Structure 1
Amino acid sequence: MTSFGAVAVITAVLLAFGAAPATAAPRYPVPYTFLANVLGALFPYSTPPGSNNWSCLPGSAHPNPVVLVHGFASVINDTWQTYAPLLANEGYCVFALNYGVPPGTPFPLDQVGGRSPIEASAAQLSEFVDRVLTATGADEVDIVGHSEGTQMPNYYVKFLGGAAKVDKYVALAPFWRGTNAAGLATVVRLTSLFGFAPVVNGILDPACAACRQLLTGSDYFAAFGDPVVPGVEYTNIVTRYDELAVPYTSGIYPGMRNITLQDACPIDHAEHFAILSDPVTAAHMLNALDPAHPRRVPCVYVPPFIG
């Protein structure tokens, strides 16, 4: 099914449940509900509406193409059903890649991305950014990433030459010091203390080499050092209700612009997933990408999970 066919089905279902698309720029419907991403997963080989138009040429208002980077266990079509069309309606050239899926992985496991070593995924991103720059004629891109997609691109920026090709870097639900979601970092640390690490790693790493890298206290974060790369403009958007970036304050880092959604909007209950369809987050993201033309950030109730 084409992207337009997929989004037509998604939009029809969302409208049936009372989710109204945005009306400001009607080129693409913009559903502010995470259900759009859930439904997007039903069309695994489609691209989010508004993205990956390889004939798109940036205008003077938004000269940098935006590259969307999904998180762990995701792909583009279950992540960017809200922000891809929103950015396209705002006049950006929008591109999104799938990464971290070992070659030859069959369906449905090919819909579980972000599993390869972060270093390998960053090499995929490097190739993708070069393709975007060649197609658009732009000098730099802006990055908008979610979860693991806030970490992996920074390896590209710091170690693979991306600092010269990335201008603005917007991180949604980041964890610059790693995450201890569900106590997994603690469990891994205990297995190491008691000598079980080789067994656990031997089981886990073939299926998900990135999993241990993302945990608090991992060798990956210890070796990475300071995540702030000079010349790149970082904006972190975090939520106090994050259940996977634990603690959520791991996404707050000195030398970066840090936004906690609930500081200005306590009724925004978006968590790790609903942040992908949150109108409050969307306004912060647009302001981070275009700070010269700030817009009012709304404060509306956003329920967890469904957005």
Structure 2
Amino acid sequence: MRIPRMLSTLFTLGATTALALSAVTATPAAAEERAELPVVYSSAAALAYAAAHPDTPPPGANDWSCKPSSAHPRPVVLVHGTLENMTFNWFALSPLLANAGYCVFALNYGQVEGIHLGVPGASKTAGVGPIQNSAAELGTFVDKVLTATGASQVDMIGHSQGGTMPRYYLKYLGGAPKVGTLIGLSPGNHGSTALGLAKLPGAPELLGLLLGTAIQQQVAGSPFITDLNEGGETQPGVHYTVIQSQWDEIATPYTTAFLNGAGVDNILLQDHCPLVGADHLSIPFDSIAARWVLNALDPAHATTPPCYPTLPFNGA
């Protein structure tokens, strides 16, 4: 799945982007004086920030005194991907959404005992435990957000497993009435072949042993994926937006992301802009993908996303 190679590349890039963090890591007093939070579209910068701020919310998230505005009545819950965490995954989108006037909340889920490969930002690797348990954690967090904000529903944005796992919450744990929109960034909604690796005998079990139960559950044809999609892939009353890149090397084939059913918008970035280079790891840090996210959250004020080259691995 090339994850170690990707991480090595990103750590190298991180050394060259550390200066971009100076505005983000300003003192609290200085932060209060700023009208807006800086938004840095770079996974390398996110890695550096997460390594320096483990187990903390990303910039702009988890202000429990935040009350939704009439323009944005639903708070936004950010759900990270497998082996990732909220600090890293939402380094760009969290401040972007906060600047746009949303109440933003994020969590770490699926943390279990043991040693698992993962990106910096959490003392225990997140997104590796059984997906059913993670969905229950998400449900508890949603209830906390609703109580704190007084809202009746949230919107969700999830990357990778974070776009798939909430569907279990919606389908089996009573979450559908509490969610208005679910936005998935490169989710593996129909399971991944992991570039064909998952088809090798014993490979899913080995992946689960090395990288956690959630990895094994997300393999194409797994009992979890089969059960999740059986009887329909969407829930009444929930709107779904899937944002995907043809260059995805983890959720493969890339079409595994797309959902079938009512209330679904499936967006392939390259259909609208062939210059987008986003891959699985960089899509949360891709500025064009971010514009699609904003459109999905507020379709009444949607604008045409720009078109310019963006980078794999790092984003832009």
- TM-score normalised per structure 2: 0.83
Q: 1:11 to 1:27 in 2, by over 3 A?
A: farther
CA distance in 2, matches of 1:290, 1:118: 29
Deviates more, 1:267-276 or 1:138-147: 267-276
Q: 1:235 to 1:204 in 2, by over 3 A?
A: closer
Asked whether 1:46 is paired with 2:56, we answer yes
SS of structure 2 residue aligned to 1:64 = coil
Asked whether 1:78 is paired with 2:88, we answer yes
Asked whether 1:271 is paired with 2:279, we answer yes
Match of 1:113 in 2: 126
Query: How far does residue 47 in structure 1 lie from its aligned partner after superposition?
Result: 1.5
SS of structure 1 residue aligned to 2:78 = strand
Match of 1:162 in 2: 175
SS of structure 1 residue aligned to 2:197 = helix
CA distance in 1, matches of 2:208, 2:260: 33
Match of 1:289 in 2: 297
SS of structure 2 residue aligned to 1:234 = strand
Match of 1:129 in 2: 142
Match of 1:30 in 2: 39
CA distance in 2, matches of 1:220, 1:104: 22
CA distance in 2, matches of 1:174, 1:102: 22
Kept after mapping to 2: 8 A contact 1:73/1:111 = no
Deviates more, 1:44-53 or 1:283-292: 44-53
Match of 1:63 in 2: 73
Asked whether 1:178 is paired with 2:191, we answer yes
Percent of pairs with identical residues: 46
Query: How far does residue 11 in structure 1 lie from its aligned partner after superposition?
Result: 8.5
Deviates more, 1:99-108 or 1:212-221: 99-108
CA distance in 1, matches of 2:70, 2:159: 27
1:215-259, CA deviations, whole angstroms, 9 ceiling, x for partnerless residues? 001011112212211111000000000010100001122222100
Deviates more, 1:294-303 or 1:92-101: 294-303
CA distance in 1, matches of 2:35, 2:186: 28
1:80-109, CA deviations, whole angstroms, 9 ceiling, x for partnerless residues? 010000000000000000000026989978
CA distance in 2, matches of 1:220, 1:81: 30
SS of structure 2 residue aligned to 1:77 = helix
Asked whether 1:300 is paired with 2:304, we answer no
Ranges in structure 2 where 5+ consecutive residues have no aligned partner: 1-15, 23-33
Ranges in structure 1 where 5+ consecutive residues have no aligned partner: 1-9, 17-24
Match of 1:209 in 2: 213
Structure 1 runs of 4+ with >4 Å offset: 103-109
Query: How far does residue 110 in structure 1 lie from its aligned partner after superposition?
Result: 3.6
Query: How far does residue 78 in structure 1 lie from its aligned partner after superposition?
Result: 1.0
Give the aligned residue type for 1:98. Answer: N
Query: How far does residue 46 in structure 1 lie from its aligned partner after superposition?
Result: 2.2
CA distance in 1, matches of 2:274, 2:281: 17
CA distance in 2, matches of 1:31, 1:206: 32
Query: How far does residue 206 in structure 1 lie from its aligned partner after superposition?
Result: 8.9
1:159-196, CA deviations, whole angstroms, 9 ceiling, x for partnerless residues? 00100100011000012110011423202xx239xxxx
Over the residues paired in the alignment, what is the CA RMSD in angstroms?
2.4
1:52-76, CA deviations, whole angstroms, 9 ceiling, x for partnerless residues? 0000000000000000000000111
- TM-score normalised per structure 1: 0.85
